[in-house]
Amino acid sequence: MQIHQLMDACLYAAAFWMAYELRASATVIDLFGMDPVDPFSQYLWFYLILIPVAPLILEAQGYYDRPLLGPRGGTLWPLFKGCLFTTLGLIFVLFFFRYYIARWIVIWFGGISFGLLLAKEELFRAAYHRKVSQSKHRRRFVLIGLAAETERMKTELKIHPDAGIEIVAQLDLNETTLKDLVGMMHEFSVNGVVVCARHAYFEQVETVIRACELEGVEAWLVADFFATQFSRTTFDDFYGRPVMVFRSAPETSWRLIIKHALDFTGALIGLVLVAPVLAVTALIIKLTSPGPVLFHQLRSGLNGSPFTIYKFRTMVTNAEQLKHELEAMNEMRGPVFKVTKDPRITPVGKWLRRFSVDELPQLFNVLRGEMSLVGPRPLPVDEVRRFNDHAHRRRLSVKPGITCLWQISGRSEIKDFSDWVRLDLEYIDNWSLWLDTKILLRTLPAVFRATGAK
């Protein structure tokens, strides 16, 4: 997938250059009476945004999740949306930075990029069809395992004829000898062996793999020995040893690296933009109630690691001591404490919470790498210790954030902690950069509608 994304990024870059050359053409300028444009060198900075972001927009539309040779509609629609949103994003960036560019460059860029990417798809489709249609390019495999498993695998392969795999023989793991397998490999000149076996047959599987190793033939092990609920399985190398990795949280990847970079950049820009708000809020808190301006507390971060969170103080200074007296008023079922009309909140604190201004100092936590802009809200360490369901700890498998699905889903109406966790796990299981973007965009209206904590 990453190779396709790199190719698409290059095609987007080429499309922008072609749109510029078309608009800068003397023939076009004379024909339509247009003004000359600036040299192309003045637009090169835009590539720093276009090349990394454009493939991400395509990915957000599901462009890279579709079958390689699926229906053309499954390609055209996400490709059209990706090119449209990329073009609109270009317009937004130019408007935000107040940078002038001839509007026909932007319009032609959208059309040319769509045409180039569609042409690439059609070329790949044609080349693949031509290769697979020739029997000499089809890969010959032997299926070996228990009869029921090999039959199921063969049925699945029939559903995907474009995979270019031809099953030349099926062998029963209980009845086949090493000599039979080697004979099949020689007779059919196979490219590989697919092994379907449960964990009780590891010894036989090892024998098959060793035979393939000696013959120089690929061995594919269908490793579905363990039934997992939501973990994604990947393979890695651990000091020369093959390792199966069961991961239920987003794996470290270039997308996660981009998320961290956007967190740092967004927090830095955010602090600059809200600096006057921070100063005024600090002054109001200081003048209206005794005590410190900032409230800090130990919260559970990534994998439960404690860190100090910063917020504007919205309660009286002895709020933690008074909490024990209010336990009977707790409205949240579970280990979390929540009271709608909390008597510990100061008059100013009520408004700070309503518009989520009290959360702004957490941008410093994001800069320090302890939090993300988007992620499950961090809970106090003592509340995490009271989790009565170990499955709830999976919300700690990613870095906590300032905003999340719970934050924009009517958090004041959620009364059961299990519903809160369900939203957090939904975020973790479906995480993408596009999902983060949607949550951030929905957070702003939620803040302005004053649907924050009460």
Buried b (16+ CB within 10 A) or exposed e, 337-371: bbbeebebbbebbebbbbebbbbbbbbbbbbeebb
Amino acid present at 413: E
Give pLDDT tens digits for 88-111.
888 887 777 777 788 888 889 999
Tell me phi and psi for residue 389, to 5 degrees. Answer: -130, 115
* Minimum mean pLDDT range among 177-191, 233-247, 400-414: 233-247
Q: What is the pLDDT of residue 450?
A: 59
Q: What is the mean pLDDT of the chain?
A: 82
pLDDT band at 186 (very low <50, low <70, confident <90, very high): confident
Would the pLDDT of 283 be above 90? yes
Compare 129 and 104 and report the one with higher pLDDT. 104
Would the pLDDT of 449 be above 70? no
Would the pLDDT of 47 be above 70? yes
pLDDT band at 227 (very low <50, low <70, confident <90, very high): low
Q: What is the pLDDT of residue 230?
A: 66
- What six digits make up the tokens of 166? 């031809």
Q: What is the pLDDT of residue 163?
A: 59
Name the helix (H) or strand (E) containing 25: none
Q: Rank 88-92, 97-101, 225-229, 234-238 by mean pLDDT and report only the highest.
A: 88-92
Of the candidates 360, 362, 321, the residue with the CA atom closest to the CA atom of residue 344: 321
User: Could you give the C-alpha distances from 84 to 47, 68, 91, 429, in angstroms and in order?
Assistant: 17, 22, 11, 27
In this prediction, what percent of the chain has a pLDDT beyond 70?
87
pLDDT band at 333 (very low <50, low <70, confident <90, very high): confident
The pTM assigned to this predicted structure is 0.63
Would the pLDDT of 134 be above 60? no
Name the helix (H) or strand (E) containing 66: none
Q: What is the pLDDT of residue 411?
A: 60
In this prediction, what percent of the chain has a pLDDT beyond 90?
19
pLDDT band at 145 (very low <50, low <70, confident <90, very high): confident
- Residue-range domains of the chain with CATH: 2-132 (no CATH), 138-225 (3.40.50.280), 254-448 (no CATH)
Q: What is the pLDDT of residue 166?
A: 80
